[in-house]
Amino acid sequence: MQKLSFLIAVTLFSGVALAAKPTSVNFDSYGATDAGVEYANYFTKCSNGKAKPLTVWDNRRKWCVGEDSTENCHKKQLKAAKQACKMK
């Protein structure tokens, strides 16, 4: 029973340790919607080697996951970057 508990704990920990994490966030470009609302495109580099897009609205107060996106948004840059790296 003790071995089973240990095995479960190791399996859970290894899954968490392998999750991609943001390593940097870099500016890409500016854009504007058809209605004239300005935004900025950023991308975050993840520890798994992938780069994921972020869109920033309202003078860097609203960080959204995805390119030209207003969905899945966060107030903090780090939270949005973490969410982007978790996505496939």
- Are the beta carbons of 83 and 71 closer than 8 angstroms? no
Euclidean distance between CA atoms 5 and 30, whole angstroms = 51
pLDDT digits (tens, 9 = 90+) for 23-59: 999 999 999 999 999 999 999 999 999 999 999 999 9
Instruction: Tell me how far apart the alpha carbons of residues 29 and 53 are, in angstroms, rounded to a whole number.
Output: 11
Return the domain boundaries, the chain: 20-86
Predicted local confidence at residue 26, as pLDDT: 96
Please give the pLDDT value at position 4: 56
Looking at per-residue pLDDT, the higher value among 68 and 14 belongs to 68
pTM, whole model, 2 decimals?
Answer: 0.75
